[in-house]
Amino acid sequence: MANDYEKYFIKPSIRDARKRKSQETPVIDFEKHFNIKGFGTGKTYKIETYGCQANEADTEKIKGILEALNFTESETLEHSDIILLNTCAVRENAENRVFGELGRLKQYKKNNPELILGVCGCMPQEEKVVERILKSFHYVDLIFGTHNIYKLPEYIETVVLSKEKVIEVFSEEGSIVENLPRIRANTRKAWVNIMFGCDEFCTYCIVPYTRGKERSRNKDDIIKEVKELIEQGYKEVTLLGQNVDSYGRDFKNTDYKFADLLKDLNKLPIQRIRFTTSHPKDFDLETVKVLSQGGNLMPYIHLPVQSGSNEVLKRMNRKYTKESYIELVDNIYKYIPNVSLTTDIIVGFPGETDEQFEETLDLVKYCKFEGAFTFIYSKRSGTPAEHYEDIISFDAKKQRLYKLNDIVNNGYLTGSKRFKGDIVKVLVDGVSKNNKDVLAGYTENNKLVNFKGDKTLIGEIVEVKITDAKTWFLKGEQVE
């Protein structure tokens, strides 16, 4: 193949990524892009994944593509012919870990100049990141973003044959790619993307720029995927989207929405349906009522609140108030009394006062969250909040985080304790990470349970009596 260097030198632009032209979403069939089968015969790969479930799902697709090319997964980095870092841009910490890792990987490149080192995922969607990689990590061979995973075969072929760097990052609204091969991480639990991208533009968040506009997958493709998973013996699916509650908002010819999708999936013979993540503004009463029907719809909702202060919520552009959030939570508890609620919270958003932070603490107590991901605000280049005046010291932000975490941890423990003495259903994942003598799995409410049992139970749903409740997990005994 001739050197096609020019063709593969497309750098990102946050400015372009901001645009929403609401053109029809193109649907791409991967099969049509796949014509170099066998290229990886005798070669190996390793992927390191950072960040959220969307990235984990993307890694499964990247593995699927590589294995369709005949690459096999390597046990170690040393023996890999391709190393890819699938990266997260949501907070600076995550980015720093990737830059640190890139520094460490230099040695492998030195030992094996044929090694292909690539960076993909959300970080390459930022122009500053690509500039930094080009300047400080010149040994990186391949940079591509979230929109063009399906083009990986031709990128690899170009790097190998032309010995040139490939940089191709699209800052477009995005497409939907169907028929991607996939190597799933788990044989019983599966991620199913129902939508991609985000149109919310919360002022702190980089995601609408790194993952493009909101675009929903055709319901028939989703249902087909779930049916295939059932045939393969899967017991749990988690529906994925940045804002699953707005599923279908982009459909032109139908008013089919998230609640309808849940209703349809509720009829299928899969044991467990979960979803993540929800936006309180779009979580309607109909969805709450559908969830209250139970069956395979699990009594667990992750509902990121971010802050308990109306003033802060407004500056975050969250488009709901503390009062409307509380009304939603009240309805959820009314219709689904057994539900477990968790949330995301950011502390130290620019300008957040002590009083506003206290409002968050009050809200957390009121909502009886049984868990929360808590974060210190991280400034993201290209987002509106980047320009907000931020006078709170990092130390003060840390103190707020500790204070919040105390209350959150209390919620975890209270949420665990309420199951003591109950018989719960556990989908067994495997042996516990901390104790190889016990099995570990999750209940319908998404609580981690450890119990003694035979390894043949792995992958099965087992009834377990809860004997003890700790903050982070429950202990139990199998019901014979």
**Residues forming the site for ligand 5AD (CB under 6 A):** 90-91, 204-205, 304, 306, 344, 346, 375, 377-378, 380
In the bound state with ligand SF4, the residue whose beta carbon lies nearer, of 319 and 465, is 319
In the bound state with ligand SF4, the residue whose beta carbon lies nearer, of 319 and 403, is 319
Q: What is the nearest approach in angstroms of ligand SF4 to the Cβ of residue 247? A: 13
For ligand SF4, the binding residue among 207, 291, 313, 367 (CB under 6 A) is: 207
Contact between 202 and ligand SF4 (CB under 6 A)? Answer: yes
With contacts defined by CB under 6 A, name the span among 144-152, 197-205, 400-408, 441-449 that binds ligand SF4.
Answer: 197-205
Residues of this chain, 36-65, that bind ligand SF4 according to CB under 6 A: none
Contact between 208 and ligand SF4 (CB under 6 A)? Answer: yes
Q: Which residues of 139-168 are buried (b: 16+ CB within 10 A; e: fewer)?
A: ebbbbbbbbbbbbbbbbbbbbbeeeebbbb
In the bound state with ligand 5AD, the residue whose beta carbon lies nearer, of 67 and 344, is 344
Q: How many whole angstroms separate alpha carbon 443 and alpha carbon 185? A: 20
In the bound state with ligand SF4, the residue whose beta carbon lies nearer, of 236 and 352, is 352
Site string for ligand SF4, 262-301 (x = CB under 6 A): -----------------x----------------------
Residue 139 phi, psi dihedral angles, 5° rounding: -85, 0
In the bound state with ligand SF4, the residue whose beta carbon lies nearer, of 102 and 205, is 205
Residue 442: both structure tokens together = 């999750």
Q: How many whole angstroms separate alpha carbon 173 and alpha carbon 134? A: 25
Q: How many whole angstroms separate alpha carbon 200 and alpha carbon 320? A: 12
Q: Among ligand SF4, ligand 5AD, none, what binds residue 378 when CB lies within 5 to 8 Å by partner kind?
A: ligand 5AD
Kindly report the CA angle at 380 between 377 and 385, in degrees rounded to 5? 70
Q: Among ligand 5AD, ligand SF4, none, what binds residue 342 when CB lies within 5 to 8 Å by partner kind?
A: none
Q: What is the nearest approach in angstroms of ligand 5AD to the Cβ of residue 233? A: 31
For ligand SF4, the binding residue among 58, 81, 141, 200 (CB under 6 A) is: 200
What DSSP assignment string belongs to 411-445?
Answer: HHHHHHHTTTT-EEEEEEEEE-SS-TTSEEEE-TT
Q: Hey, which residues does 423 pair with through a beta bridge? A: 465
Q: What is the nearest approach in angstroms of ligand SF4 to the Cβ of residue 281? A: 9
Total Cβ atoms within 10 A of residue 198:
21
In the bound state with ligand SF4, the residue whose beta carbon lies nearer, of 200 and 225, is 200
Q: What is the nearest approach in angstroms of ligand 5AD to the Cβ of residue 344? A: 3
In the bound state with ligand 5AD, the residue whose beta carbon lies nearer, of 121 and 453, is 121
Q: Among ligand SF4, ligand 5AD, none, what binds residue 279 when CB lies within 5 to 8 Å by partner kind?
A: ligand SF4
Q: What is the nearest approach in angstroms of ligand 5AD to the Cβ of residue 204? A: 4
SS3 content of the chain, % helix, strand, coil (to 5): 35, 20, 40
Residues of this chain, 218-247, that bind ligand SF4 according to CB under 6 A: 242-243
Q: How many whole angstroms separate alpha carbon 210 and alpha carbon 12? A: 9
Q: Among ligand SF4, ligand 5AD, none, what binds residue 307 when CB lies within 5 to 8 Å by partner kind?
A: none
DSSP conformational letter for 213: S
Closest by Cα among 361, 308, 299 to 332: 299
Q: How many whole angstroms separate alpha carbon 206 and alpha carbon 383? A: 6
With contacts defined by CB under 6 A, name the span among 126-134, 184-192, 200-208, 368-376 that binds ligand SF4.
Answer: 200-208
The continuous run of DSSP H or E covering 262 comes out as helix 258-266
Sign of CA dihedral 156, 162, 166, 168: negative
In the bound state with ligand 5AD, the residue whose beta carbon lies nearer, of 81 and 359, is 359
Q: How many residues interact with ligand SF4 (rule CB under 6 A)?
A: 10
The continuous run of DSSP H or E covering 195 comes out as strand 195-196
Maximal C-alpha separation, the chain:
69
In the bound state with ligand SF4, the residue whose beta carbon lies nearer, of 148 and 306, is 306
Total Cβ atoms within 10 A of residue 478:
16
CA 121 to each of CA 86, 87, 369: distance values in angstroms, whole numbers, following the listed order: 5, 5, 31
In the bound state with ligand 5AD, the residue whose beta carbon lies nearer, of 43 and 91, is 91
Residue 362: both structure tokens together = 């009050």
Contact between 198 and ligand SF4 (CB under 6 A)? Answer: yes
Q: How many whole angstroms separate alpha carbon 128 and alpha carbon 382? A: 10
The binding site for ligand SF4 (CB under 6 A) comprises: 198, 200-202, 205, 207-208, 242-243, 279
